[in-house]
Chain A
Amino acid sequence: MPEFEKLHQAVLDGDQKAARSLTEAMLAEGVAPLDMITKAMVPAMDEVGRRFECEEYFVPELLLSARAMKASMELLRPLLTASGAQPAGRVVIGTVKGDLHDIGKNLVASMLEGGGFEVVDLGADVAPEKFIEAVKQSGAQIVALSALLTVTMPSMRTTIDALNQAGIRNQVKVMVGGAPVTSQFATEIGADGYSENASAAVQLARKLMAGSQA
C-alpha cells in the first residue's frame, strides 16, 4: 500500500500540502477514512512522539506534523461523523484563570487533534465556570488544564474543586500540565494525570479514555 506509506511520510515530515492532496486522492480511490487514520496517520503521530521523546524532533517539528494531520482530518472528519464513527475522545482544554500564556496549551490541543481527539479550546485565562459550562455542553470525557506561572498553579486546584461542586467531577478525567507543574502537584490537587510535554499528553489522554471506559 504505497499510498498509506506516503500519507504516513507526509505527516512525519509535517508536509501539510502533501497530506491534504494524498488524502483527497485516496478518498477518490475509495479508501476508507478510518483506515487512513488507523493505518497511516496515528502510527505517524506515534512516531513523531517517539522522535520528540528522544530529541530528534522539537516543538517546531511537532507543530508541523500536527498541522499536516489536521489538514487531512479536516477532510475526513465530516465523513467520519456522517458514518457515526466516534473520535478518540472529547477534550475541553484551557489555560487556567489568571494565566494568559497559551503556547503550551495550543501545542497540546494540536497534538490531541492530531491524535484523533475532538478538542474544545477555551483559550487562556479561563474561569472555572467556563470549564463547567463547556463540559456540560460538549459531553467531554477529559478536561485538560494548563498553567505556565507558578502563581497561577493554585487556579488548577480551584478549577478541580469547582468541577466537584458542580457535581460533574466524576464524569470527567482531569489532566494537567505546564512548565512549573509536576506529577506530585497533580496528585496533590486531585487531578487524574500529568504529562510533561505535548506528545506525552496524547498518550495520557488515551490512557485516561481507556480507564474511563473500563
Chain B
Amino acid sequence: MSRLAGWVEHGPLITDGAWGTQLQAMGLAPGEVPDLWNLSHADHVAAVARAYVEAGSEIVLTNTFRANGITLKEAGRAGSLEEINRRGVEISRQAASGKARVVASIGPTGKMLLAGGITPEEARAAFAAQAKALAAAQPDALLCETFSELEEAEIALAAALETGLPVIVSFAFDTGKNKDRTMTGLTPEKAAAAIARAGADAVGANCGAGIEFFPALVERLKSACGLPVWIKANAGLPRMEGGRVVYDASPESFAARFADLAKAGASFIGGCCGTSPEFVAALLAQRDAWRNL
C-alpha cells in the first residue's frame, strides 16, 4: 500500500517545473553543480522555489538533484554534503510556507554500475549519506529521479526507504523507436514491477523525449504495479538557436496533454527541463477545466 495514496485521493496533484534551467537563467555557469548554490546563492534558489509555489505548485522539489557524495566529490565539495542537502530542504520548505508539500530530489550518481564506473557499495554509501542528510531536514517524501539503470535505482530506493519517509522512484525513458525504454533497455513494466516489489510508494517517468510520449508510459507503469504514477516531462527536446538553447513546447501546448495524462492514471504531474512557473500555471488551469467537465 502506497503511503502517498492519501495525497492523491482527490485527483492528480500539480508539482513543479525545472530547476536547473531556471537557475541557469539567473547566471548559474555551464557545468557548475546547481546544488552548490544552496550555500552560495540561496536567495536565487529560494526565488525558483517561491515562483513555483506562487504559480500554484502543490509539491515543490529541492535543489539537491546532484548532491550525492560522488558528484560532490568530483566538484571538490564532498565535505559540504550534509549542509547542501539540509539547506536544499530548508529553502524549499520556507518557500512553500505551508502551501505546498516538499519532496526532496535525489538524482543518479552519473556513473554506471554495469560499466564498472562505481561499485554497488560506493553507490550505496553515496545515496545513504544523501538520503540521511535530506531526511534530517524533514521533507514530506523523497524522490529518486531520472534513473536509467535498474540496479542503481534499487540501491537509491533502499537507501531512501531507510529514512522511513515515503519514496517515489522515477525513470528517464528516452531510448528506442517509441522512446519507451531507458538507456539500458529497461521497460516501464520491468521498472515498475521491480520498484513496487522493493517497497516504493510511487513510480514515475521524467525527463524523456517529450510529453507526447508520456500518456502511454503512465498507462504501462500503472498497469504493471498499481502504485500512484509520478510524471515530469521535458518541454520537448532542446534545440540550439543562435548559440542559445531553446525548448519547443509552449506552456499551453504542454498543458494541453493534462487530460490524456490524468485519464491514463497519472497522480502527480509536472515539468522537467525547459519548463517554468508558466507551465505550472497552465497545468493548473487545465486541471480546473478537466474537473469541471
Asked whether A and B interact, the reply is yes
Q: Does A150 contact B (CB under 8 A)?
A: yes
Interface size on B, residues (CB 8 A): 29
Expressed in whole angstroms, the minimum distance between the Cβ of B276 and any Cβ of chain A is: 15
Once A100-B110, A106-B115 are accepted as A-B contacts, the answer to whether A59 and B184 lie under 8 Å apart by CB is: yes
**Segment among A73-81, A136-144, A180-188 that sits at the interface with chain B:** A180-188
Q: Does B29 contact A (CB under 8 A)?
A: yes
Q: Which residue of chain B lies nearest to A156 when distances are taken between CB atoms in the complex?
A: B240
Q: Does A154 contact B (CB under 8 A)?
A: yes
**Segment among B88-96, B134-142, B174-182, B279-287 that sits at the interface with chain A:** B174-182
* Contact in complex: A153, B31 (CB < 8 Å): no
A33 to chain B: which residues have CB within 8 Å?
Answer: none
* Contact in complex: B112, A149 (CB < 8 Å): no
* Measured CA separation A57–B240 after assembly (Å): 31
* Contact in complex: A58, B110 (CB < 8 Å): no
Q: Does B238 contact A (CB under 8 A)?
A: yes
* Measured CA separation A58–B150 after assembly (Å): 14
Once A63-B114, A103-B112, A103-B115 are accepted as A-B contacts, the answer to whether A98 and B31 lie under 8 Å apart by CB is: yes
* Contact in complex: B183, A58 (CB < 8 Å): yes
Interface residues of A in 145-194 (CB under 8 A from B): 149-155, 157, 179-180, 182, 184-185, 188
* Contact in complex: A154, B243 (CB < 8 Å): yes
* Contact in complex: A58, B31 (CB < 8 Å): no
* Contact in complex: A155, B237 (CB < 8 Å): no
**Quick one: which of A59, A157, A188 contacts B185, CB cutoff 8 A?**
A59
A55 to chain B: which residues have CB within 8 Å?
Answer: 176-177, 181, 185
* Contact in complex: B184, A99 (CB < 8 Å): no
Expressed in whole angstroms, the minimum distance between the Cβ of A67 and any Cβ of chain B is: 9
Q: Which residue of chain A lies nearest to B115 when distances are taken between CB atoms in the complex?
A: A63
A155 to chain B: which residues have CB within 8 Å?
Answer: 30
Q: Which residue of chain A lies nearest to B245 when distances are taken between CB atoms in the complex?
A: A150
Q: Does A101 contact B (CB under 8 A)?
A: yes
Q: Does A60 contact B (CB under 8 A)?
A: yes
* Contact in complex: B112, A98 (CB < 8 Å): no
Q: Does A107 contact B (CB under 8 A)?
A: yes
Once A60-B185, A180-B238 are accepted as A-B contacts, the answer to whether A152 and B117 lie under 8 Å apart by CB is: no
* Apart from A100-B31, A102-B110, A103-B111: 19 A-B pairs, beta carbons within 8 A: A55-B177, A55-B185, A58-B183, A58-B184, A58-B185, A98-B31, A99-B31, A100-B74, A103-B112, A103-B183, A125-B31, A149-B30, A149-B31, A150-B273, A151-B31, A155-B30, A179-B174, A184-B239, A185-B239
B interface residues (Cβ-Cβ under 8 A, vs A): 24, 29-32, 71, 74-75, 110-112, 114-115, 117, 174-177, 181, 183-185, 237-240, 243, 245, 273
Q: Which 5 A-B pairs have the closest CB atoms?
A: A58-B185, A98-B31, A151-B30, A150-B245, A98-B30
